[in-house]
C-alpha cells in the first residue's frame, strides 16, 4: 500500500542551523511528492512540489527514487520557519496521502 | 475570492446526533476534496468530487457519512448518528484537475 513516513515528530534547532525534515514513501510507480506547511493558527498550505524543482522560503527538496525519499532542507533556519510540516504523495488518482507530520521548532 | 471557506469552524454535538458541514471552494476550481485529521496524524483522504460527480470514496467513509456537491460548487459532508470516534478536524480542499490543492481552515468536530 502507498505510505508516507515522517520519522520525526519533533525537530528542534537554533536559528541559523541547517534543517532537514525527513520523508520516505512507499510506491512502486512514479509518484508526485509535496511538502505542505501549517503555521500556528493558519490553514495547511503548499510549500513546494517536486516537479517544480524550486526553492520556496529557502527550502528545497529533491526526489530520490532510489531511496524513495523526499527530504526537506534549509541551510539556515529562521524563527518564522517554526511550524508543522507534512510530506504528501499523489499517485494515479488526485488524492493526497499525508505523513504524520514533523513539528519544527526554531529557537532564537 | 479569499480561498476555500468552511462552515462552521467548530461544532460540538452529542453522540447520536447528525451534523452537516459546508465547504465553499475557490470559484473556478472543479475538484473538491474532503479529508479528516485526528490528533497527531496527517490529513486522511475521505472523498472527492469533480464538478458534481463523486469520483472516489475512501473505505474510511462509513455508511454514516455522506457527501454531496449538487451544483458542482459548494459541498456538504453529513455524519449521521455521530460517535465519539468521529471527533476530528474535517478539512476541505479544492483544485483545478491535477493542480495544487488549496485547503480551507477546517471544521473541528467534538462529539460528547
Report whether B92 contacts B103 (CB < 8 A). yes
CATH number of the domain residue A15 falls in:
2.60.40.10
Q: Which domain holds residue A74?
A: 3-107
Nearest chain A Cα distance for residue B85, angstroms:
18
Name the nearest CA neighbour of A48 among A23, A78, A80, A14.
A23
Copy the grid coordinates of residue B90: 474535517
pLDDT in tens, A30-54: 889 999 999 999 999 999 998 887 7
Quick check: B43 and A96 CB within 8 A? yes
Give the Cα separation of B28 and B31 in Å (integer).
Answer: 9
Contact B42 A45 (CB under 8 A): no
Q: In sequence order, which residues have a C-beta less than 8 Å from that of residue A28 and are 6 or more positions away?
A: none
Per residue in A71-83, pLDDT tens?
Answer: 999 999 999 999 9
Q: What is the pLDDT of residues A54-102, one digit of tens each?
A: 788 999 998 888 899 999 999 999 999 999 999 999 977 788 999 999 9
Q: Which residues face B7 on adjacent strands?
A: B22
CB B110 within 8 A of CB B11: yes
Nearest in space to A72 (alpha carbons), one of A28, A30, A36: A36
CA distance A43 to chain B (A): 5
Contact A45 B98 (CB under 8 A): no
- What is the reported pLDDT for A74? 96
Total structural domains within chain A? 1
Amino acid at each position: 500500500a502507498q505510505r508516507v513516513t515522517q520519522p520525526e515528530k519533533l525537530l528542534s534547532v537554533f536559528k541559523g542551523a541547517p534543517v532537514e525534515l525527513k520523508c520516505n514513501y512507499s510506491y512502486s510507480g512514479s509518484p508526485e511528492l509535496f511538502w505542505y506547511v501549517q503555521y500556528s493558527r493558519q490553514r495547511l498550505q503548499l510549500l513546494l512540489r517536486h516537479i517544480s524543482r524550486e526553492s520556496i522560503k529557502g527550502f528545497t527538496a529533491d526526489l530520490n527514487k532510489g531511496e524513495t525519499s523526499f527530504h526537506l532542507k534549509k541551510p539556515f533556519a529562521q524563527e518564522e520557519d517554526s511550524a508543522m510540516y507534512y510530506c504528501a504523495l499523489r499517485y494515479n488518482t488526485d488524492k493526497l496521502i499525508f505523513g504524520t507530520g514533523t513539528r519544527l521548532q526554531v529557537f532564537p | 475570492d479569499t480561498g476555500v471557506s468552511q462552515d462552521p469552524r467548530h461544532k460540538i454535538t452529542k453522540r447520536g446526533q447528525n451534523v452537516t458541514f459546508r465547504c465553499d471552494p475557490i470559484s473556478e476550481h472543479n475538484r473538491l476534496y474532503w479529508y479528516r485529521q485526528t490528533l497527531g496524524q496527517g490529513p486522511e483522504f475521505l472523498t472527492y468530487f469533480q464538478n458534481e460527480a463523486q469520483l472516489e470514496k475512501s473505505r474510511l467513509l462509513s455508511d454514516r457519512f455522506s457527501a454531496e456537491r449538487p451544483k458542482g460548487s459548494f459541498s456538504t459532508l453529513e455524519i449521521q448518528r455521530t460517535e465519539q470516534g468521529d471527533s476530528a478536524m474535517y478539512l476541505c480542499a479544492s483544485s483545478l484537475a491535477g493542480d495544487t490543492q488549496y485547503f480551507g481552515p477546517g471544521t473541528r468536530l467534538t462529539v460528547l
